[in-house]
Amino acid sequence: MIDAYDDWDATEMARQVAAGAVSAGELLDEALARVERLNPSINAVVLIQEEAARRAIDRGLPEGPLRGVPFLIKDLGCEAIDFPSHNGSRLLANTRYSYDSAIFERIRATGVVTFGRTTSPEGGIGAATESAVYGGPTRNPWNLDHTPGGSSGGSGAAVSAGIVPAAHGSDGGGSVRIPAASCGLFGFKPTRARLPDGPAAGEGWAGMAIDGFLTRSVRDSAVLLDACAGADLGAPYWAPPLGAGFMAALQRPPRRLRIALCDTTLTGEPIAPEARAAVLDAAALLESLGHSVVPARPAADTRGMMAAWTKIVACGTALGIRSTLAARGRDLGEDEIEAVSRSAMDHAAGISGADYLQAVGKIHAYGREMAAFLRDWDVLLTATLAEPPARVGRFSHRDRDYVDYRLGKGMIFDYSPFCAAFNASGQPAMSLPLHWSDAGLPVGVHLAAAFGADEMLMALAGEVEAARPWAGRRPPLARAGAAA
């Protein structure tokens, strides 16, 4: 039965384990064998803890919905006693934790067998994954000259390559949806505070960051989100309660929706022909399903939001680095962080407390503007990225000014002008793998909904997946790895 590994999503793998057709140990063996075959090409899986995974199996896995499925967690956050982390940085290399984070506890309770971590850029502030601590860039299984995105690029590459059927990620400016779009996967960012941040933090990046997952199937994301949703003890705020949950939403199609179509950026600039083609094709598909699709664009101050986002993330980067140094009682070494992070610290030094609060206020105002737009529409349809996946090196953290890296011409916000809008607004958003360029690179389609409307958006994802299935479309690297 292990020969069917590539045909199973995580939900089906768990069903096979429950039926006795395959064991958790056999699935772990296969995942580790695939790491050995495929990871030298993509550099996505790091810090493997095989003994911890074997111990978990031997102790008896929780009777959760994904019992026995091999799994990977992002090497940024998701603190876990058994899983040391580099956090994408030489400064934080081999960090060990004395506690398990709430998100990891909930992931573990699903019954998955976590055996390692996946690469991320330093500080999680890039749309590519090329951190120096991993010895080289992480590459896209669809074309090794291109990035799998960031900051959950390692998770995107590992799932796309077929090493695991699902992996953990996080999203503070598109960091789940960008890899999903780049790697031909499904990525869902839930409403702000839908998932726990504790116990070490109450929020990330002024509430803009949230955990999530990279999956091949919509139902795998639904299962994981159902298992992990809900505030943890002492959370500073909660998301609106779910109804019957994400999986239940997949059992019924959504009502026919009013969908706003934006085939430019949110500020009206043109996007690459491949990205625009993806949007228009998705619009035609949605219309064929009976939804109303009408051109419309939010009047929100997206440029102002991007500037505020850049200030908040600079301050968050500086806080993380300085807290580490203070705990160690020493100064920063010359080569311990990369140029973008060092520049972010310098930028943060010039931001006063009043400036920071003004930036947070701008983010809140933007959320109100986007909420007002979605009073008249159920969903906003755009591309996920303004162009197909970038080449490796374009968004390297070496020798770069932080503000230019984010806001400069041709840089991150030009490349990814849609995703961060919904980190700022807190609204749920997702990337669907509905289009490929003529060169064979995935081009994601992005859909966002009103605050708290997660289940409606998930139901729409399930309807679109049923109408145009994508799971059988796999990168050449995955096919070669399965055949080896």
The residues annotated with a catalytic role in the active site are 74, 151, 175
Return the closest-CA partner of residue 465 out of 249, 142, 303.
Answer: 249
CA distances from 250 to 69, 150, 463 (A): 21, 28, 8
DSSP labels, 349-360: HT--HHHHHHHH
CB 162 within 8 A of CB 481: yes
Q: Which helix (H) or strand (E) holds 447?
A: strand 442-449
Sheet holding 429-436, edge to edge: 45-46, 113-118, 70-74, 166-171, 210-215, 186-189, 429-436, 442-449, 379-383, 258-261, 292-295
For residue 390 the two structure tokens come to: 């970038």
The beta strand positions in 138-219, using DSSP E, are 166-171, 186-189, 210-215
The beta strand positions in 228-353, using DSSP E, are 258-261, 292-295
CB 381 within 8 A of CB 283: yes
The beta strand positions in 183-314, using DSSP E, are 186-189, 210-215, 258-261, 292-295
Whole-angstrom Cα Rg for the chain: 21
DSSP character at residue 451: T
- The tally of CA atoms less than 13 A away on the side-chain side of residue 137 is 23
Give the number of other CB atoms < 10 A from CB of residue 339.
Answer: 16
DSSP character at residue 433: E
Whether the link from the prior residue into 151 is cis, omega within 30° of 0, is yes
CB 262 within 8 A of CB 297: yes
Return the closest-CA partner of residue 5 out of 40, 41, 31.
Answer: 31
